[in-house]
Each structure stands twice: as structure tokens, then as C-alpha cells.
A and B are shown apart, each in its own frame.
Chain A
Amino acid sequence: QVQLVQSGAEVKKPGSSVRVSCKASGGSFSGNAISWVRQAPGQGPEWMGGIIPISGSTIYAEKFQGRVTITADASTSTASMELSSLRSEDAAVYYCARVMGMTPVTPAFDCWGQGTLVTVSS
């Protein structure tokens, strides 16, 4: 049974960048796409983008294009998401999620990380 373990909470200043990692254990990493989803307080989840670890191919939601970078390292079974030019509205819990299949935009996420709280404050 695969588990996704994310890096710890972060406090960042506006304008800076944050990097959240997601390490898979107990199962296949390269056999599924990984997506990143965030949830701001009081709001619904928001899909940011995803990656096919075996190829490194990425796809991003238009809203985050140019500001988000998703990478994966199959040798360490770790995916990462970096969001730049942080602003207050980026404060949220960020999740990595395994996709049921190889396409990051397939909306079926069968395993989630525990979430990483990102606070943006000056």
C-alpha cells in the first residue's frame, strides 16, 4: 500500500518561493502520475498541476502556469512542487496525490499525502 509523506509546514514571505516534497513508500512511484492540489481556508480544493514521473512530463493549470514547477525523481520516489512569487492568497494546505493512471489530469486521486501548510506572511 503506497504512502505519500510530505515535507513539513512552511512560513514564507510575500514574493518568495516555497518547495514542498512528497516521498512515496510501500508501492510503485513511477507507475502513476502525481498531481498537486491545494486548499485554502474555507475554500474547495484547487488542482495545480501534475507530472508523469517516468517521463518527467508535466501539465499545469493555466492559473499557475509560469509560477509553479513540478518535478519528480524516480530514484528517490519523490515528487516536488515549487511555487514562486508567493502572495497572501497562496496560503493554503498543499497536497500531493497519486492519480489512478498515467495522466495527471485524470480526476481520480486514490492516495494523498498528509498535506503541508504554507503560511505567507510578512
Chain B
Amino acid sequence: QSALTQPASVSGSLGQSITISCTGSSSDVGSYNLVSWYQHHPGKAPKLIIFEVTRRPSGVSDRFSASKSGNTASLTISGLQAEDEAAYYCCSYASSATRVVFGGGTNLTVL
């Protein structure tokens, strides 16, 4: 069981927006602005799309945005495209002995 809770799946139509939630606790998401998000297509290496809660690495589309409120972080993908269909994982620093925790992942289906 992953430390951070994500919905198992979400779906949206081409051009629409979706939001994926990532719920942790006061020991991780709630206490540190060290949340990242990864996009993972099957058979490929994961790709960093958000770090430090809201920052996008160079080259990542501005259709990806993120935020945090309390113990929950959120990733929003706007203007859905077919290539956005992938698994998305959140990740946070944690004060526990685990140090870095991930979510269980959310499979995005683009209809």
C-alpha cells in the first residue's frame, strides 16, 4: 500500500481538463513543498513533469499545472491530448524513515 493516495483511474475527452489528486499527511505532503509528479508511459522511463509542488522542468508543456492544499496535492492537465494517456505518480519528501514516498499511481484514459 502506497503512502500517498491517488485515484486508480481518471478519464477525459480530447481537449478537456482533468485533475488528479494525491492525498498524504502532515508528515509528507502537508509539511513540505517538495511534491513532484511523473508521467509514465508503459515500457518507457518515467518523466518528471512537476517538482517543488508547482514548478515545471524546462520542456514540459504548460498544459500541466499543479497545486497543493493542506495534505493534498493536485495535478491538472488541460487541453487533453492523446499522448497524455499514461500513468501519473505523485511523490513527496517525508519526515518518516521512508524519506521519499510515492502514490499508487493514476491511469489516465483519453477518450
Contact = CB atoms under 8 A, between A and B. Distances in A.
A106 B34 contact: yes
Contact of A112 (B46, B92, B101, B105): B46
Query: Which secondary structure dominates chain A's binding surface?
Result: mixed
B104 interface: yes
B7 to A, nearest CB: 13
Interface size class of A (residues with CB under 8 A): 20 to 34
A18 interface: no
B36 interface: yes
A63 B96 CA distance: 11
B99 A105 contact: yes
Nearest to B105: A44
The 8 A-B pairs of least Cβ separation, nearest first, read: A62-B97, A47-B100, A112-B45, A108-B51, A44-B2, A44-B104, A45-B102, A107-B91
